[in-house]
Amino acid sequence: MKFRAHVLVSLKEGVLDTQGKAVRVSLKNMGYGSVEEVRIGKSIMISLEATSRPEAEKQVEAMCDDLLVNPLIETRSVTLEAI
């Protein structure tokens, strides 16, 4: 079976997001005064083959643990769909 995983990676609360801070300042300077906070993250799309949905979930979680997410400073959200 084929699956598509969408992994959304964000910095944990309390971790300084210098990119987000720079974007927030730029937006305020452009006239978007209502912007209070900007957080920058990553969106990763993965297409994979697996024998079942649980197997696909297991593979994607392993990918996150091994390479895609730094658990010390980042959180993740994974959605998986059959294609």
Interacting residues of 22 by C-beta distance below 8 A, sequence separation 6+: none
Decide: pTM greater than 0.75: yes
Q: For the chain, 83 residues long, give each residue's pLDDT as a single digit of tens.
A: 999 999 999 999 999 999 999 999 999 999 999 999 999 999 999 999 999 999 999 999 999 999 999 999 999 999 999 99
How many CB atoms are located within 10 Å of the residue 56 CB?
A: 22
How many CB atoms are located within 10 Å of the residue 60 CB?
A: 23
The predicted-structure confidence for 32-46, as pLDDT tens digits, reads as follows: 999 999 999 999 999
Interacting residues of 52 by C-beta distance below 8 A, sequence separation 6+: 1
Structural domains in the chain plus CATH codes: 2-82 (3.30.1280.10)
